[in-house]
C-alpha cells in the first residue's frame, strides 16, 4: 500500500516555471539527448497538413523541424515514444527545453504537457456486499455474472495461470472485441483464453525517463512481477475458486465482483512507477479494443484537468461510453488528500468489511494490546514471555533505528527479543525482515499520530503484529516503566486467526483519502467507498506474499489493503450494472451506485472513521458505501452528457483552448447554454462553497434533472434532511412520471448565515434530499462549506 502524503495542487504556470529553467540551465557540454525529458503533445487532429499521409509522418516531421542538433533531426522517428489516436490526439516524445518552446508555438499544437509519474494505491467482500451465487434473483443473476462485458485493468499486468482467470464454461469473446494478447518471451499468446481476452504492455515512457529496464528484475511483457495487477484484476472479475486462503487465513471461496466478465489487462506500472505517457497509451488502446469498463488503481498529484493525462484519457473514454473507476488514494486520514477528482470518473475510497485477523500483544504486566497480522510460520509460545525493547530506545541511533530501517539495528541489542518499531518510510513487512536479520524473534509495528488507530494486516516473515498509535504509546510507557523499576520488559504475540462478523462494519479505512476536492470543491469527492481493507485476491507465483525480496514463499492468493482494492470492486459492479442495463451511460451507472449507497454501519448508526473511532463525514465517504443490489434498481438516475461536462468546464472558468485539450470539442462558453455555476452540473451530490466576506446571508441554488428508470406512472416525493444551520427547499416537492425514460427537473435552494471562524479556517455541514416512490429511495448528499478567507 502506498503511504505517500497528501497531494498538492499545482498550477500549469508553476510546473513550467519550475521545470523549464532547470532544463535550460543544464550544462552546454551535455548532448541534447542527455537533458531531454518526456512531454505529451496534444494536437488538433484535423490540422495535419495534407502533404503527410499519416499523423505519424506529421509528428516525425515536427520533431525534425524543432531538433536542436543534426543527430536528433535524423533520429526524429525514434524519439516518438507513443502516438495516440483514440482518447487523445497527439504524441509523446523526448524534448529539450528549447524544443518544448518551439513545439508549443507550432500550428496545430494545442498543448505540451510534462510527463508525470503516478504510483499504485496499494474473498469475503462479495458476500459482505450481498452478492451470493445461489440467489435466484438479484444483480448477479440479472447480469449473467457480467458475461460478455469487458473490464480493462490498467495496472502492473497479470499472472494468467491463476485459477481465478480460468475460462471454464465461458463462450467465445464478444463479437465487438478488437483487442489482442501481445506475446513476449515469458508470455506466450496462448496464455490468454476466453476469460483473459486481451493483454498489452506499455513501457516506452518508463524507459525514456529511467533507461532500459533491468529484465532480471522486471518482465518486459504483460506478466505481473509485482502482484498488484493480478490482485486488482481478480477483485474485479475473478472466477469462483475454492478453497482459497492466504497462509491459512481467510479460508473460503474467492470470487470477483463480475465472475463471468472478460478481462483485458494493460500493464503500465514498473519498478519506478506508472508514467503518464504509458497510461495514456493504455487508455487509447483500451477504448479502441472495445472495453466497457476501465479500472485504474493508480494516482498522483492533483493538477488542473487539462494538465492531467488520466483526466484527459478518462474523459474520452467516458465520451465513448466506457465507465472509468479510479482509486481515491491512500493519503488519509488527512483532508484534501483525494486524487483522481475529475467528475467524469468514479472516485472510490476504502472501507472495512466484517472480517479481521487479530494478533494481540500480551505484556509482562498482564496487559493485552489489540493488533492485527497474517503470519503462518512457527508462532511464539503463549505461555512464555520474551524480552521486549523499543527500537528507538536507549543505545540505538535514534530515528532510523526507531523505524527499523535496513542496517539500523544492533544485533547485540536485538537478538532473542521482540522489537517495537515505528511505522513509516519502509514497508511494514520490511521492518520485520530487518528485525529478523538482527536476530529478533518478533516485531510490533506501531502507528504514528498521523496514522491514528487504523490497522492493516500484512503477511510477515516472522511473528509480527501492527498496533494503533495509542496502543504503541502504551507499549512504550510499559517499556519505560519496566526499565525504571529494573525489571525487564517482556511480551509475546498471540495469533487468533480469522475472525468473522466483526462489528461495526463497514468503517471508513484510516488510509482512505479524504475530501474536499482541491481542484473543484463544488464536486464532492470521493464519490463513494467500497471494501478495501484486508481483501483476499489472486497473487502471482513469483512474488512472496509479504512483497519483501527475500520472501520465497508462494501463495495462490494474498491479502492486501488500499483504495487500489476498493476501486476494482466498483469496476466489477459497473460491469454487472452495464450487463443488466446495456442502455445506461457511464454517468447513469455512477448515479445508480451513488444514490443507493448507505452511510450507516451494522449497528444502524453513521459509519465510524477507523483512524479516530469518531463518526465519519461526507468528506470521508462521499455518497456512502456501495450497495450493489439496490443499485440495480435505483428508480431515478442523474444522467450527464459530454456537453454537460463542457458546460461544467466553462463554468469552472477554463479557457476554450484548455477545454478543447480535455474534450477535443469546440466550446462556446459565451453561449446561453453555459449560464449558471459549477454546482449546476447534474451530479448526484450537491455541494456549495461559500466565502465569508462579511456578507451575513448566503445562498445558492442547484438545478437537477432526473431520469425515470423504474416504473411507469410513478410518483416520487421529496424528503429533506437539511444540514445544521442551513435552510433547504426543493421545488417541486413531487415528481410525477408517466413513462420510463421521462426526464423531470427540480430546483434546490440552500440558505445559511455566516458563522464565527478564524481566518483561513472552514466548517462543513451536510444533509440530504431523498426522492421516494414508496419502494425506492434516491438519496443525494447536500453539503455546505463555509470558508473564512485569510
Task: Quickly list DSSP for 250-316.
Answer: EEEEE--SSTT-EEEEEE-EETTEEEHHHHHHHHHHHHHHT-SEEEE-EE--B--GGG-HHHHHHHH
Apex 668 CA angle, 665 and 674, nearest 5: 110
Q: What is the mean pLDDT of the chain?
A: 90
- pLDDT band at 35; cut points 50, 70, 90: confident
The model's pTM is 0.91
- pLDDT band at 672; cut points 50, 70, 90: very low
pLDDT(783) > 80 = yes
Angle between helices 228-237 and 563-580 (to 10 degrees): 30
Candidate from 137-141, 620-624, 771-775 with smallest mean pLDDT: 137-141
pLDDT(501) > 50 = yes
**Per-residue pLDDT tens digits for 157-211:** 999 999 999 999 999 999 999 999 999 989 999 999 999 999 999 999 999 999 9
Region 569-580 average pLDDT: 96
Q: What is the DSSP string of 162-212?
A: SGGG--TTPPPPPTT----B--BTTB-GGG--SSEEEEEE--HHHHHHH-S
> Quick one: what percent of the chain has pLDDT higher than 70?
91
d(CA 628, CA 256): 13
How far apart are the two ends of the chain, measured CA to CA in Å?
36
307-324 in b/e form (b: 16+ CB < 10 A) is bbbbbbbbbbbbbbebbb
Residue 399: the pLDDT is 87
Residue 129: the pLDDT is 56
Which one is catalytic: 143, 277, 325, 564? 564
d(CA 159, CA 689): 46
How many other CB atoms sit within 10 Å of the CB of residue 122? 23
Q: Give the distance from CA 227 to its chain's centroid.
A: 16
Residue 131: the pLDDT is 54
Which one is catalytic: 228, 231, 625, 627? 228
Quick one: how many helices (H) and strands (E) in the chain?
Answer: 20, 37
pLDDT(17) > 50 = no
| Signed CA dihedral, 350, 354, 357, 361: sign only | positive
Region 408-432 average pLDDT: 95
Residue 77: the pLDDT is 59
User: What SS3 state is found at 674?
Assistant: helix
**Per-residue pLDDT tens digits for 47-100:** 999 999 999 999 999 999 998 765 555 456 578 999 999 999 999 999 999 999
> Quick one: what percent of the chain has pLDDT higher than 90?
84
**410 tagged catalytic:** no
Which one is catalytic: 155, 278, 609, 647? 155
Apex 609 CA angle, 604 and 611, nearest 5: 150
**155 tagged catalytic:** yes
pLDDT(102) > 80 = yes
Burial (CB < 10 A; 0-12, 13-18, 19+), residue 54, is: exposed
Contact 682, 704 (CB under 8 A): yes
Residue 147: the pLDDT is 72
pLDDT(30) > 60 = no
Which among 406, 410, 403, 361 has a CA at the least distance from the CA of 386?
361
Region 592-616 average pLDDT: 97
Which among 689, 697, 771 has a CA at the least distance from the CA of 730?
771
Which among 509, 112, 474 has a CA at the least distance from the CA of 349?
509
Cell readout for 778 is 434516491
125 Cβ partners below 8 Å, 6+ apart? 235, 353, 531, 535, 569
- pLDDT band at 28; cut points 50, 70, 90: very low
The DSSP 8-state label assigned to residue 697 in this structure reads E
The DSSP 8-state label assigned to residue 426 in this structure reads B
For 570, list phi and psi in degrees, rounded to 5: -70, -35
Phi-psi category of 189—alpha, beta or left, where left has phi over 0 and alpha has psi -120 to 50?
Answer: alpha
pLDDT(570) > 90 = yes
d(CA 310, CA 327): 12
d(CA 629, CA 416): 52
- pLDDT band at 675; cut points 50, 70, 90: low
Region 27-50 average pLDDT: 75
Residue 76: the pLDDT is 60
- pLDDT band at 36; cut points 50, 70, 90: confident
Q: What is the DSSP string of 30-88?
A: S-GGGS-EEEEEEE-GGG--TT-SSHHHHHHHHHHHH-SSHHHHHTGGGGEEEEE-SS-
CA dihedral 449, 504, 125, 624 (to 10 degrees): -80
The DSSP 8-state label assigned to residue 406 in this structure reads T
- pLDDT band at 114; cut points 50, 70, 90: very high
Contact 290, 176 (CB under 8 A): yes
Which among 153, 586, 135, 625 has a CA at the least distance from the CA of 348?
625
Region 568-593 average pLDDT: 97
Amino acid at each position: 500500500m502506498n503511504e505517500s502524503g497528501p497531494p498538492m495542487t499545482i498550477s500549469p504556470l508553476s510546473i513550467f516555471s519550475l521545470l523549464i529553467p532547470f532544463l535550460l540551465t543544464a550544462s552546454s557540454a551535455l548532448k541534447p539527448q542527455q537533458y531531454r525529458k518526456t512531454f505529451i503533445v496534444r494536437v488538433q487532429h484535423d490540422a495535419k497538413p495534407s502533404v503527410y499521409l499519416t499523423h505519424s509522418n506529421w509528428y516525425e516531421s515536427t520533431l525534425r523541424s524543432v531538433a536542436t542538433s543534426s543527430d536528433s533531426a535524423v533520429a526524429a522517428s525514434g524519439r516518438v515514444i507513443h502516438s495516440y489516436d483514440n482518447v487523445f490526439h497527439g504524441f509523446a516524445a523526448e524534448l529539450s527545453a528549447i524544443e518544448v518552446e518551439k513545439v508549443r508555438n507550432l500550428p496545430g499544437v494545442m498543448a505540451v504537457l510534462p510527463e508525470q509519474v503516478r504510483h499504485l494505491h496499494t474473498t469475503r467482500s462479495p458476500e459482505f456486499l450481498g452478492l451470493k451465487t445461489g440467489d435466484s434473483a438479484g444483480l448477479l443473476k440479472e447480469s449473467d455474472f457480467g458475461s460478455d462485458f469487458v473490464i480493462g485493468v490498467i495496472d502492473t499486468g497479470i499472472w494468467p495461470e491463476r485459477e481465478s482467470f480460468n475460462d471454464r464454461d465461458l463462450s467465445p469473446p464478444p463479437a465487438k472485441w478488437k483487442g489482442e494478447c501481445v506475446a513476449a518471451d515469458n508470455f506466450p499468446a496462448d496464455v490468454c483464453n476466453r476469460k483473459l481476452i486481451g493483454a498489452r504492455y506499455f513501457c516506452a515512457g518508463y524507459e525514456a525517463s529511467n533507461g532500459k529496464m533491468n529484465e532480471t528484475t522486471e518482465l518486459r511483457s504483460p506478466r505481473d512481477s509485482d502482484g498488484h495487477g493480478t490482485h486488482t484484476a481478480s477483485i474485479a472479475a475473478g472466477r469462483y475458486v475454492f478453497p482459497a486462503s492466504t497462509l491459512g487465513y481467510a479460508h473460503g471461496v474467492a470470487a470477483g465482483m463480475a465472475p463471468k466478465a472478460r478481462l483485458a489487462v494493460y500493464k503500465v506500472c514498473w519498478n519506478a512507477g506508472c508514467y503518464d505517457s504509458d497510461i495514456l497509451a493504455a487508455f487509447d488502446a483500451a477504448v479502441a479494443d472495445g472495453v466497457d469498463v476501465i479500472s485504474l488503481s493508480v494516482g498522483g498529484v492533483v493538477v488542473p484537468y487539462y494538465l492531467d493525462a488520466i483526466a484527459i484519457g478518462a474523459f474520452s473514454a467516458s465520451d465513448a461510453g466506457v465507465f472509468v473507476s479510479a482509486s481515491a488514494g491512500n493519503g488519509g486520514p488527512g483532508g484534501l488528500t483525494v486524487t483522481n477528482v475529475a467528475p467524469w470518473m468514479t472516485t472510490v475510497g476504502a472501507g472495512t468489511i466484517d472480517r479481521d485477523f487479530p494478533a494481540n500483544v500480551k505484556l509482562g504486566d498482564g496487559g493485552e494490546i489489540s493488533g492485527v497480522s497474517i503470519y503462518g510460520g512457527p508462532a511464539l509460545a503463549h505461555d512464555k514471555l520474551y524480552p521486549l525493547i523499543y527500537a528507538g530506545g536507549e543505545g540505538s541511533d535514534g530515528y532510523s533505528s526507531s523505524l527499523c530501517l535496513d542496517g539500523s539495528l544492533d544485533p547485540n541489542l536485538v537478538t532473542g527479543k521482540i522489537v517495537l518499531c515505528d511505522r513509516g518510510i519502509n514497508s511494514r513487512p520490511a521492518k520485520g525482515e530487518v528485525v529478523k536479520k538482527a536476530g529478533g524473534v518478533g516485531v510490533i509495528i506501531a502507528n504514528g499520530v498521523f496514522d491514528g488507530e487504523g490497522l492493516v494486516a500484512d503477511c510477515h516473515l516472522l511473528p509480527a503484529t501492527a498496533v494503533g498509535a495509542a496502543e504503541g504509546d502504551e507499549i512504550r510507557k510499559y517499556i519505560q516503566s519496566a526499565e525504571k523499576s529494573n525489571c525487564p520488559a517482556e511480551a509475546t504475540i498471540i495469533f487468533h486467526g480469522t475472525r468473522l462478523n466483526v462489528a461495526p462494519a463497514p468503517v471508513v479505512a484510516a488510509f482512505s483519502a479524504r475530501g474536499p476536492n482541491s481542484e473543484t470543491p463544488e464536486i464532492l469527492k470521493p464519490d463513494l467507498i467500497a471494501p478495501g481493507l484486508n481483501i483476499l485476491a489472486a497473487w502471482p507465483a513469483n512474488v512472496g506474499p509479504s512483497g519483501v525480496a527475500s520472501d520465497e514463499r508462494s501463495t495462490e492468493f494474498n491479502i492486501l489493503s488500499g483504495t487500489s482494492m476498493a476501486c476494482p470492486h466498483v469496476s466489477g459492479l459497473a460491469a454487472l450494472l452495464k450487463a443488466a442495463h446495456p442502455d445506461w451511460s457511464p454517468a447513469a451507472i455512477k448515479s445508480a451506485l451513488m444514490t443507493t449507497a448507505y452511510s450507516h454501519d451494522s449497528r444502524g448508526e453513521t459509519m465510524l472513521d477507523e483512524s479516530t473511532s469518531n463518526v465519519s463525514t461526507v468528506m470521508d465517504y462521499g455518497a456512502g458505501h456501495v450497495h450493489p443490489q439496490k443499485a440495480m434498481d435505483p428508480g431515478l438516475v442523474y444522467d450527464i452528457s459530454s456537453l454537460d461536462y463542457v458546460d461544467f468546464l466553462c463554468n469552472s472558468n477554463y479557457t476554450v483552448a484548455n477545454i478543447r485539450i480535455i474534450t477535443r470539442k469546440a466550446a462556446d462558453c459565451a453561449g446561453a447554454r453555459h449560464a449558471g455555476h459549477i454546482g449546476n452540473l447534474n451530479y448526484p451530490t450537491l455541494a456549495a462553497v461559500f466565502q465569508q466576506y462579511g456578507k451575513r446571508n448566503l445562498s445558492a441554488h442547484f438545478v437537477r434533472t432526473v431520469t425515470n428508470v423504474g416504473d411507469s406512472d410513478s410518483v416520487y416525493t421529496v424528503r429533506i434532511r437539511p444540514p445544521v444551520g442551513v435552510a433547504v427547499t426543493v421545488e417541486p416537492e413531487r415528481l410525477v412520471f408517466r413513462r420510463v425514460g421521462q426526464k423531470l427537473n427540480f430546483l434546490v435552494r440552500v440558505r445559511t448565515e455566516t458563522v464565527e471562524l478564524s481566518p483561513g479556517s472552514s466548517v462543513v455541514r451536510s444533509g440530504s434530499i431523498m426522492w421516494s416512490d414508496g419502494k425506492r429511495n434516491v438519496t443525494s448528499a447536500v453539503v455546505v462549506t463555509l470558508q473564512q478567507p485569510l
